[in-house]
Structure 1
Amino acid sequence: MSANSRLTIAAHALVWITLYQREGHEVATSDKIATSANTNPVVIRRLLGELRKAGFVESRRGVGAGWSMTRELKSITLLDVYEVVEPGPLFAMHRATPDQNCVVGYGIQPAMRGIYQDIEETLRCELARVTLEDVLREVLAAPR
């Protein structure tokens, strides 16, 4: 099972666009963002499309096409981004109902559901504490 990188890539894109704009550029292309993230521009466009619907970015078509921020990084938490790009639960139950005649099959989902709810609440609280401005500050402070 592999880890999901959607939150990381979305945060990367938003921080990158902001830094690029702070350097005096009006818009950022998905190709440039994708180069920084070392991923396909289609991945960036899809994520930014979701973030556009949520009001974090806007896009321009035609000559001078690209993406720009509509909100300041200090007003966006990692939880805000997480809720856009990861709308489902963090953990899932079995795809098919376990054997209800088995003691473990009968009790596993209720047991795990409570544990997962606690974990997700902790995750949400931690993500809410960190703004994308905090992330940018950490990025710029990282040793090279």
Structure 2
Amino acid sequence: MSANSRLTIAAHALAWIGHYQRLGHEVATSEQIASSANTNPVVIRRLLGDLRRAGLVESRRGAGAGWSLARELESMTLLDVYEAVETGPLFAMHRAAPDQGCVVGHGIQPAMQGIYDGIEDILRRELADVTLENVLRDVLAVSR
């Protein structure tokens, strides 16, 4: 199993766009953002599409095409970003139902679901406490 980086790359893109706009630019291209994140522009465009559907970014087509923030970084939380780019629960159950005739197979999913629900609640509370402004501030502090 590998870790999912969608939240990290989406936060990277939003912080990058916010910083770029503060430097006086109106829009950022997916190629510029992809270069910073060291990933393919298609990956960035897909994430930005999710962020656009969530109302976090806007896109402009034609001459001067690119992406801009739809809201200020101070009003975006990591929970907003997480909900925009992550589909499904944080943890999943078995792909095939366990043997219900086995005592462990019968009880494992209800036992684990309660634990997972608690972890997800904690994660959501923590993400809700961090704005993208906090993220950009921390990024710039490390970069100095």
Q: TM-score range by the shorter chain?
A: over 0.9
Q: Which runs of 4+ in 1 moved over 2 A?
A: none
Q: Distance in 2 between matches of 1:108 and 1:85?
A: 29
Partner of 1:96: 96
Within-5 A mapping of 1:1-144: 1-143=1-143
Deviations, residues 10-67 of structure 1 (Å, cap 9, x unaligned):
0000010010010011100000000000000000000001111111111111111100
Aligned length: 144
What letter corresponds to residue 110 of structure 1 in structure 2? P
Query: Residue 22 of structure 1 aligns to which amino acid in structure 2?
Result: R
State the AA in 2 paired with 1:98: P
Q: TM-score if structure 2 supplies the norm length?
A: 0.98
- CA RMSD of superposed structures (Å): 0.8
What are the ranges of 5 or more consecutive residues in structure 1 without an aligned counterpart?
none
Question: 1:142 is paired with a residue of what secondary structure?
Answer: helix
d(CA) in 2 for partners of 1:87 and 1:72?
24
- Relative to the length of structure 1, the TM-score reads 0.98
